[in-house]
Amino acid sequence: MSLRSRMVDGDPLLGLILKIPAHSAVELAGHLGFDFVLLDTEHSAAETVEVEHHVRAGEAAGIPVLVRLAGKDPASALHALDAGAAGIVVPHVSDVADAEAAVRAAHYPPRGARSLAVSTRAGRHGTVTLEEHLAKAARETVVVVQAEDRDSVRNCEAIAATEGVDAVWIGPTDLSLSLGIPGDFDLAEYRSAVDRIVEAVGSAPQCALCALVDHPGKVEEWRDRGASVLLFNYNTVVVEGLRAIVDSVRE
């Protein structure tokens, strides 16, 4: 089954966020049993060529790669998908118009407005037929939108119900920043905003809830809240692991 099929069916999925150029880390995620890698080009220096290399590494290890775009520019979506990414993650989706624009950028007409070329890596450099390429793209392209500001909380029901949106990812840091309480994840205002998004996604047909997990101990909590897609940050895992080693040795 494709990543998109598993996602919309509500299968439990585990993703690894990668912010630093590391092709081998993509392969490692595949060998370890992660379900996908989320390559972050919003908060990293990744460029088009590097995106392609990371997607190539994923295919070598049998793991799909999603690309978080730097913004809402359709050209960024085109470049990621032409490189062979399994789908896109669009940041700062604040209303239905943003959600619909994300879907349009990801899909070919008549559903969307993505430009077509089968000579790309996604088209196996022209070795598949046009019909095969179009059918695969329509069937398997993943669209994840991020709810991470006041407006996205206010409009979360409509965003989650937007046709073609496969998952909503709660962006905790930017959401807290937008609420004027950066990093205060235990405050009632933040928790209430998250609760509303969780409820909205849970009520939407074929839309998965995606959550960032900063510690394995939080997995059960998020599963109980209905999150079928859980993300771990590669940087966080590495930093915490190395810090524990340093602290242990220093002591």
Annotation marks residue 79 as catalytic: no
As a whole number of angstroms, the distance between CA 28 and CA 71 comes to 28
Catalytic residue selected from 23, 31, 43, 53: 43
Q: Are 207 and 200 in contact (CB under 8 A)?
A: no
Helix (H, G, I), strand (E, B) or coil at 143: strand
As a whole number of angstroms, the distance between CA 220 and CA 209 comes to 14
Tokens of 135: 């059918």
As a whole number of angstroms, the distance between CA 140 and CA 56 comes to 17
As a whole number of angstroms, the distance between CA 163 and CA 176 comes to 27
Number of separate helices (H) and strands (E) present in the chain: 12, 8
As a whole number of angstroms, the distance between CA 102 and CA 86 comes to 15
Q: What's 165-194 look like in SS3?
A: CCEEEECHHHHHHHCCCCCCCCCHHHHHHH
Catalytic residue positions, numbered:
43
